Amino acid sequence: MRSLVLSLGVALFSLGGCSSTPSNVQAVIGSYDITVSRNGLSDPDVVTVSHGTGNAVILSFNTGIWPGEGAPSLYGIRGSLDSTKISIASQPAVVNYSTGHLDGKMTGKGILPTDGSSIMLDVSFVPAAGIRDADGGVIAATDGGVVSLDYHIEGNKF
């Protein structure tokens, strides 16, 4: 009897949590062959989109981007899906592409069409320790502010 009550509780909780999930979440789940570009350089990668809780999706990159220490998900970069728009709130991340290996914070926004055929993201990454030049010195932003690296990510579903 106790297991029946527990099972019923879990089922009701699951049904209640599904009401805010965008209708296209099942269509966008899958793997995408992508190109990550910045300043004329590009790196190939694969990103797998999986369902998180509520209206969240988890973006798990094969190489190049992964969650940093203290990130909201251990499995990838967490994004919020609203119809076809995806947004990535500021979160710890690690980037390891042609810019080198950097720890910092990532934010972004983009589009996942309702049919799940493609993905397009623009992300900004702010390295925790700044960007270093060849001599190991920190490169300052031209306006005296924080240096950020902007990446464009685009590709199609397998």
Torsions phi, psi of 32, nearest 5? Answer: -125, 135
Distance CA 69, CA 141 (A): 25
Q: Which DSSP helix (H) or strand (E) runs through 58?
A: strand 56-61
Give the Cα separation of 114 and 135 in Å (integer): 47
Q: How far is CA 63 from the centre of its chain?
A: 13
Q: What is the pLDDT of residues 70-95, one digit of tens each?
A: 999 999 999 999 889 999 999 999 99
pLDDT at 11 over 70: no
- Decide: 48 and 31 in contact? Cβ < 8 Å: yes
Backbone angles phi, psi at 74, to 5 degrees: -80, -15
Q: How far apart are CA 59 and CA 51, in angstroms?
A: 9
Residue percentage of the chain with pLDDT more than 70? 73
Amino acid at 55: N
Q: How confident is the model at residue 13 (pLDDT cuts 50, 70, 90)?
A: very low
Alpha-carbon gap, residue 81 to 52, rounded angstroms: 10
Mean pLDDT in the chain?
Answer: 81
Question: In the block, which residue shows the tokens 């992300």?
Answer: 123
pTM of the model: 0.78
End-to-end CA separation in angstroms for the chain: 45
Q: How confident is the model at residue 97 (pLDDT cuts 50, 70, 90)?
A: confident
**Would the pLDDT of 9 be above 80?**
no
